[in-house]
Amino acid sequence: MTSLTTVRVRYQTIEIGNTDIHICTLRDNQQFSDPDDEALNLGICSASWPMFGVIWPSSLVLANHMLDYDIAGKRILEVGCGMALSSLLLNHRHADITATDYHPTVEYFLDRNTTLNNTKEINFERLDWAEDNSHLGKFDMIIGSDLLYEDQHIDILAEFIDRHAMPTCEVIVVDPGRGRKNKLTNKMTELGFSSKHVKPENTTYLDLPFKGHILTFSRDNSSQTE
C-alpha cells in the first residue's frame, strides 16, 4: 500500500440524517503522494491525483439519498467510490455493499474509515470500467456520484453497469450537472433501462444550491430467462 506520510489529512464527522459517519480524507485537493509512480502508471496525473480524496457535493447527495432507501436483500455496488461516503453509510445500515474505484489509494482510506466507524470491512476492488476481467459478479443495485468527467466515459460506464447488473436492477447516479446526463440516459435506454431524473429535495446540508440531478435507471427482466 502506498505510503501517505507526505500528505496531510483531516478528520471530520459528517451527519447524514441522524447518522454520524466519521471520515478521514485528504486535507484538501492540493495534496499529492505517488512515490512509486503507481497512479502515474495508471494514467492518473498529479493534478487529478487528489480528486478522489475529498468529499464532493454529489457524494453528500447520494449518501443522504441512501439514508432511508430500501436495501433489504439487495447486493449493492458503488462505482467510482472515492471517499466511499455512501458505502460507509450503507455499511452502517448493514447492507451487502461492495465499493470500487480506479485510484490505487482509495482502498487505504476505505480501510481506515471502516475502522474509524467500528464497522465491518467493506469489499473493495480496484478496477477499470473498460476491462472485462472483474470477478465482481452481478448486483441488484448500482450507485455512484459525479462519474462523468469526459464524453468517452459514458459508453464505458454504461456497459460496465450492464455487465454487472442483475436482470432486475436499479441504478442511481448523482450527476452535478456536467452536461452529460442525457447522453448517459440515451445509452442506458439502449441497454433496456427506463430512466427518471429528479432534483434532490432539501439539500440544506450543502453549502451551495445543488444544480444537478439524481438519475435513476431501472430494469425489470425478472420474468425473462437470459
CATH of the domain at 207: 3.40.50.150
Q: Spell out the residues 6+ positions from residue 86 whose beta carbon is closer than 8 angstroms to its own.
A: 59, 62, 63, 66, 78, 143, 145
User: pLDDT tens across 71-128, in order?
Assistant: 999 999 999 999 999 999 999 999 999 999 999 999 999 999 999 999 999 999 999 9
**Residue range(s) defining the domain that contains residue 115:** 56-220
Residue 121 is assigned to a structural domain of this protein: yes
Residue 36 is assigned to a structural domain of this protein: no
Concatenated DSSP letters of 163-181: HHEEEEEEEEEEE-S-S-H
- Burial state string for 24-54 with b = 16 or more CB within 10 A and e = fewer than 16: bbbeebebebbeeeebeeeebeeeebbebbb
Q: Which helix (H) or strand (E) holds 57?
A: helix 57-66
Question: Looking only at Cα atoms, what is the longest distance across the chain?
Answer: 54
Rounded CA gap, 25 and 48, in Å?
15
Residue 166 is assigned to a structural domain of this protein: yes
Residue 32 is assigned to a structural domain of this protein: no
Q: Is the pLDDT of residue 226 over 50?
A: no
pTM > 0.85: yes or no: yes
Q: What share of the chain is helix, strand, coil (3-state, %, to 5)?
A: 25, 25, 45
Cell of 22: 466519521
User: Is residue 67 a contact partner of residue 19, using CB atoms and an 8 Å limit?
Assistant: yes
Give how many domains the chain has, as a whole number. 1
Residue 50 is assigned to a structural domain of this protein: no
Residue 185 is assigned to a structural domain of this protein: yes
Rounded CA gap, 115 and 42, in Å?
28
